[in-house]
């Protein structure tokens, strides 16, 4: 309607400039309008005896408006626009031809719907103004003379690389007057290149990209495993929690199964109350045996699922053979010490070394590797202490460690990245004067500086916090309700230690209530490169003594806690790959961080890798030291076959002596990248448009792109002036004003 009334769309008026085309002065126009208004006023004043003042003023305003409008039209109002010069500019139209564009809606594929809309409605209009270049893209960009039929394409690419397609087009068009790029896609990009560098590069071209969204933004008839959050490495005997996120339609329950090969090893159900959306299911996986497990997480779909191929995702769980080392330093024989050792007896994946002080200068050591190890008690060198992944300090006063050892324990957390767990006791924490040591800075809570004892031998109930109900440390079952019930059923602890408030970055998993106040019982925080935990009780042993002998709550709690504190410490060699599961992609980016025994970056190592394919064939690559980050080595490898790939990393020093070695696994899949994320990713397409000063269009509105491009500023433009005197709005306005005047005169009886 706006276009018809004023001869041009609103966008033209926003971009253009209004003026008069007549050579006559605008001041003359203003003078004539004033004279006409005076003449009309004088004529009506002579009839002041026939009509009231209000009626005369109304007639004067209407007649003066008509006179002013007619005089303005004589001065030829015009719209001046900088518009695209026909035939001198180009537009690139990109059409997504990846496998996800084969998804059908109402019996027609996304590709064919987009092709038909572009060919029938958009391209004819664009061809009148521009030189139009067309291309399809999947994993690679393909320039074409015209858009092909769907049945002409030999195959739809198994990867969608929107990022590369756009950058390639914009790079090639630098020397040409390119007005815009039109991108028709469902927004599914699996290039792994959507990063800050891409967005900066895209916006720097200063060429608008207009995106056309294809496909539905919500698929209620598709069950898809969106992601599986599972640690890639685990210790033997640990329990790893997988968080499986599933997009689903409306159904009563969501069931997720975990397969190892053809065997089902876990099943978890969740009530979703017939509500479509995204749900997360948590499943515990037992990392029982060393080696690598190929796991498949599968969500059962409701009837009518349009894409059953995306109902599952694969993951690898690598269970290392090397045990994590934990040092437990205890100041006196006590029940807690005994039951902790009993809970950790013969636990896989953990090597527990304990130093029990029996007299001021004598220590009872268990789990040591030689008679000389820790003969003098707590370690006093980095070489000794940094061997451990976690350190537990029991009922020990601060002065039992000299200032060097106290600082060493602080540095163990902040520099080495180890984990410290401090336990309660009448000589521990504030009662042991730890608040005045550098170790206090690492703790997740403040320690009170008081003359009164903070350790009390009273009964109290350990209570789960909201964070604790979902933490793998304090979780006995996957059901939050059942987990809370089991904690409530545990016997009371026999003592606890009052601390100060949790620090800003702390997480409290267990609390205890005393004198109507809640106090942290189990808390942790990140500190420097490591972590620090505090358990403000020495009475968890009562969970074992006050329950039947076969009850495992005490053992489960301590095993999960010690596994957690030992698992996060970095090793001397840390090997990562940019992905664990490679979908239709062969390039593997290997990264290795190398540290010496004091966990300082080691930059003079020689690092090599051997990639072993599923068929047993091998390829070798050398990792190059990074110039920017000391201790980092990187290389690219190729995983060309589908299946599990073993990567053996070996590091030597300048004398060719082995420093460290590591085995890692990745999994390569074929034909799966385009099976996921089938709903239109309109957020991605809208961001592409907004980052380049373009617009996002739904498929049905794509034909309006031409009008937008006609006044675009990119490319070669010409200034043009368009007359407005013949716009229908002016004639309708004049007729309306005269009809209103006639109606009023008729009503007043003064025609």
Tell me the torsion sign for CA atoms 440, 444, 445, 451: negative
pLDDT confidence of residue 221:
85
Mean of pLDDT values over 343-368? 90
Measured N-to-C along each axis, helices 53-74 and 728-748 cross at an angle, to the nearest 10 degrees, of: 160
Give the span between the Cα atoms of 688 and 691, in whole angstroms: 5
pLDDT tens-digit readout, 618-627: 999 999 999 8
Which domain covers residue 116, as residue numbers?
86-217+679-715
Mean of pLDDT values over 585-594? 92
Task: Examine the pLDDT at 12 and tell me if it is beyond 80.
Answer: no
- Among all chains, which residue has been given the structure tokens 């769980």? 317
Mean of pLDDT values over 430-446? 96
Written as six digits, the tokens of 436 are 């005045």
Candidates 100, 118, 119; CA nearest to 109 is 100
Is residue 369 located within the same domain as residue 492?
A: yes
Is residue 400 located within the same domain as residue 358?
A: yes
Is residue 543 located within the same domain as residue 485?
A: yes
Give the span between the Cα atoms of 12 and 708, in whole angstroms: 9
- Give the DSSP H or E segment for 484: helix 480-489
Is residue 101 located within the same domain as residue 149?
A: yes
Task: Examine the pLDDT at 5 and tell me if it is beyond 90.
Answer: no
Candidates 564, 505, 488, 577; CA nearest to 232 is 577
Q: Is 190 exposed, middle or buried (0-12, 13-18, 19+ CB in 10 A)?
A: buried
Written as six digits, the tokens of 75 are 């001065």
Mean of pLDDT values over 3-8? 74
Is residue 614 located within the same domain as residue 686?
A: no
Task: Examine the pLDDT at 405 and tell me if it is beyond 90.
Answer: yes
Residue 499 sits in a domain whose CATH number is 3.40.50.880
Q: Is 552 exposed, middle or buried (0-12, 13-18, 19+ CB in 10 A)?
A: middle
User: How many residues are given for the chain?
Assistant: 751
Q: Which of 319, 337, 371 is the last residue of a domain?
A: 319
Contacts of 583 (CB under 8 A, 6+ apart): 159, 190, 669, 672, 673
pLDDT confidence of residue 718:
57
Of residues 247 and 16, more confidence is placed in 247
For the chain, what is the mean pLDDT?
Answer: 88
3-class secondary structure, 65: helix
* Cβ atoms of 410 and 436 closer than 8 Å: no
3-class secondary structure, 405: helix
Is residue 543 located within the same domain as residue 590?
A: no
3-class secondary structure, 123: helix
Give the number of domains in the chain.
5
Is residue 26 located within the same domain as residue 153?
A: no
Give the span between the Cα atoms of 503 and 520, in whole angstroms: 11
145 CB neighbour count, 10 Å cutoff: 7
pLDDT tens-digit readout, 274-319: 888 899 998 988 887 788 889 999 999 887 888 888 999 999 998 8
pLDDT tens-digit readout, 648-668: 999 987 666 667 888 899 999
pLDDT confidence of residue 467:
93
Give the span between the Cα atoms of 217 and 611, in whole angstroms: 40
Is residue 515 located within the same domain as residue 526?
A: yes
Task: Examine the pLDDT at 715 and tell me if it is beyond 60.
Answer: no
- Give the DSSP H or E segment for 246: strand 238-248
Contacts of 487 (CB under 8 A, 6+ apart): 462, 463, 464, 474, 476
Contacts of 411 (CB under 8 A, 6+ apart): 382
pLDDT confidence of residue 84:
57
Phi, psi of 589 (to 5 degrees): -100, 115
- The band of 86, judged by pLDDT with boundaries at 50, 70 and 90, is low
Mean of pLDDT values over 6-28? 77
Tell me the torsion sign for CA atoms 386, 387, 390, 395: negative
Q: Give the up-direction half-sphere exposure of residue 520: CA atoms within 13 A in the CB hemisphere.
A: 24
pLDDT confidence of residue 562:
95
Candidates 456, 454, 397, 450; CA nearest to 427 is 397
Is residue 163 located within the same domain as residue 285?
A: no
Among 12-16, 186-190, 696-700, the least confident range: 12-16
pLDDT confidence of residue 57:
86
Contacts of 117 (CB under 8 A, 6+ apart): 184, 212, 699, 700, 702, 703
Is residue 472 located within the same domain as residue 596?
A: no
Q: What is the dihedral of CA 548, 552, 557, 561, to 10 degrees?
A: 140
Give the span between the Cα atoms of 37 and 45, in whole angstroms: 12
Residue 609 sits in a domain whose CATH number is 2.60.40.1930
Is residue 347 located within the same domain as residue 261?
A: no
Candidates 511, 517, 552, 509; CA nearest to 533 is 509
Total-model pTM = 0.73
Measured N-to-C along each axis, helices 162-172 and 196-204 cross at an angle, to the nearest 10 degrees, of: 30
Give the span between the Cα atoms of 283 and 241, in whole angstroms: 6
Starting at the earlier edge strand, list the strands of the sheet with 77-84.
17-20, 77-84, 717-723
- Residue 677 region, left (φ>0) first, then alpha (ψ -120 to 50), else beta? left
Listing DSSP states for 2-40 in one string gives HHHHHSS-HHHHHHSEEEE-SSS-HHHHHHHHHHHHHHH
Give the span between the Cα atoms of 525 and 419, in whole angstroms: 10
Q: Which of 267, 291, 319 is the last residue of a domain?
A: 319
- Among all chains, which residue has been given the structure tokens 């220590």? 363
Give the span between the Cα atoms of 406 and 415, in whole angstroms: 14
Give the span between the Cα atoms of 422 and 194, in whole angstroms: 43
Task: Examine the pLDDT at 108 and tell me if it is beyond 70.
Answer: yes
* Cβ atoms of 331 and 400 closer than 8 Å: yes
Of residues 408 and 290, more confidence is placed in 408
Mean of pLDDT values over 37-60? 80
Q: Which of 523, 549, 567 is the last residue of a domain?
A: 567
pLDDT tens-digit readout, 159-169: 899 999 999 99
Task: Examine the pLDDT at 179 and tell me if it is beyond 60.
Answer: yes
pLDDT confidence of residue 545:
92
- The band of 202, judged by pLDDT with boundaries at 50, 70 and 90, is very high
Residue 689 sits in a domain whose CATH number is 3.40.50.410
* Strand 658-669 relative to strand 581-583, pairing: parallel
- The band of 714, judged by pLDDT with boundaries at 50, 70 and 90, is low
Mean of pLDDT values over 46-75? 81
Is residue 652 located within the same domain as residue 585?
A: yes
């Amino acid at each position: 309607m706006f276009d018809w009334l004023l001869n041009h769309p609103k966008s033209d008026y926003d971009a253009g400039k209004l003026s008069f085309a007549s050579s006559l002065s605008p001041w003359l126009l203003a003078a004539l309008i004033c004279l006409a208004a005076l003449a009309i006023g004088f004529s009506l004043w002579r009839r002041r005896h026939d009509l009231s003042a209000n009626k005369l003023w109304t007639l004067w305003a209407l007649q003066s408006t008509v006179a002013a409008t007619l005089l303005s039209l004589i001065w030829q109002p015009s719209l001046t626009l900088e518009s695209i010069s026909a035939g001198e500019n180009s537009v690139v139209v990109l059409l997504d031809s990846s496998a996800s564009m084969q998804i059908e809606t109402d019996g027609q594929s996304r590709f064919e719907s987009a092709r038909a809309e572009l060919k029938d409605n958009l391209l004819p209009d664009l061809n009148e103004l521009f030189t139009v270049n067309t291309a399809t893209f999947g994993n690679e960009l393909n320039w074409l003379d015209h858009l092909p039929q769907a049945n002409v394409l030999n195959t739809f690419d198994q990867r969608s690389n929107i990022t590369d397609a756009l950058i390639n087009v914009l790079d090639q068009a630098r020397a040409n007057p390119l007005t815009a790029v039109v991108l028709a896609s469902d927004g599914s990009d699996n290039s792994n290149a959507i990063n800050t560098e891409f967005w900066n590069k895209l916006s720097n071209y200063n060429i608008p990209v207009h995106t056309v969204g294809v496909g539905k933004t919500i698929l209620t008839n598709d069950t898809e495993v969106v992601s599986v959050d599972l640690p890639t490495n685990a210790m033997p005997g640990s329990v790893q929690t997988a968080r499986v996120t599933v997009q689903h339609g409306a159904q009563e329950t969501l069931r997720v199964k975990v397969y190892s090969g053809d065997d089902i090893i876990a099943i978890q159900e969740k009530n979703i109350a017939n509500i479509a959306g995204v749900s997360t299911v948590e499943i515990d996986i037992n990392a029982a045996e060393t080696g690598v497990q190929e796991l498949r997480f599968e969500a059962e779909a409701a009837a009518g699922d349009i894409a059953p191929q995306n109902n599952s995702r694969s993951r690898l769980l690598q269970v290392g053979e090397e045990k994590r080392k934990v040092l437990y330093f205890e100041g006196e024989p006590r029940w807690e010490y005994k039951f902790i050792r009993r809970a950790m007896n013969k636990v896989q994946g953990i090597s527990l070394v304990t130093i029990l002080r029996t007299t001021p200068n004598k220590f009872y050591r268990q789990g040591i590797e030689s008679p000389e190890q820790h003969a003098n008690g707590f370690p006093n060198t980095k070489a000794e202490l940094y061997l451990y992944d976690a350190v537990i300090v029991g009922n020990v006063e601060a002065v039992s460690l000299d200032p060097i050892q106290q600082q060493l324990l602080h540095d163990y957390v902040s520099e080495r990245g180890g984990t410290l767990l401090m336990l309660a006791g009448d000589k521990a924490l504030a009662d042991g004067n730890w608040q005045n040591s550098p170790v206090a800075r690492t703790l997740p809570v403040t320690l009170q500086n008081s003359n009164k004892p903070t350790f009390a031998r009273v009964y109290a109930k350990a209570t789960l916090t909201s964070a604790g109900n979902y933490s793998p440390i304090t979780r006995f079952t996957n059901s939050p309700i059942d987990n809370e019930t089991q904690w409530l059923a545990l016997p009371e602890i026999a003592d606890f230690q009052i601390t100060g408030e949790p620090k800003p970055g702390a997480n409290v998993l267990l609390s205890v209530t005393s004198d109507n106040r809640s106090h942290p019982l189990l808390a942790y925080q990140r500190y420097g490169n490591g972590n620090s935990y505090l358990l403000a009780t020495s009475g968890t042993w009562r969970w074992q003594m006050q329950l039947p002998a076969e009850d495992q709550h005490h053992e489960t709690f301590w095993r999960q806690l010690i596994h957690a504190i030992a698992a996060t410490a970095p090793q001397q060699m840390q090997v990562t790959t940019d992905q664990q599961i490679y979908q239709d992609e062969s390039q593997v980016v290997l990264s290795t961080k190398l540290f010496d025994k004091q966990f300082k970056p080691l930059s003079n190592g020689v690092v090599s890798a051997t990639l072993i394919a599923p068929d047993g064939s091998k390829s070798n690559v050398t990792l190059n030291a990074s110039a920017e980050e000391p201790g980092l080595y990187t290389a690219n490898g190729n995983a060309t076959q589908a299946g599990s790939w073993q990567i053996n990393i070996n590091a030597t020093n300048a004398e060719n002596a082995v420093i460290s070695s590591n085995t890692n696994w990745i999994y390569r899949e074929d034909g799966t990248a385009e099976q996921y994320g089938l709903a239109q990713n309109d957020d991605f397409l809208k961001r592409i448009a907004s980052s380049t000063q373009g617009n996002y269009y739904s498929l049905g509105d794509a034909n309006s792109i031409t009008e937008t491009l006609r006044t675009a500023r990119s490319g070669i433009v010409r200034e043009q002036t368009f007359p407005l005197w013949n716009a229908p709005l002016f004639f309708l306005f004049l007729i309306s004003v005269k009809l209103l005047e006639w109606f009023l005169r008729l009503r007043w009886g003064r025609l």
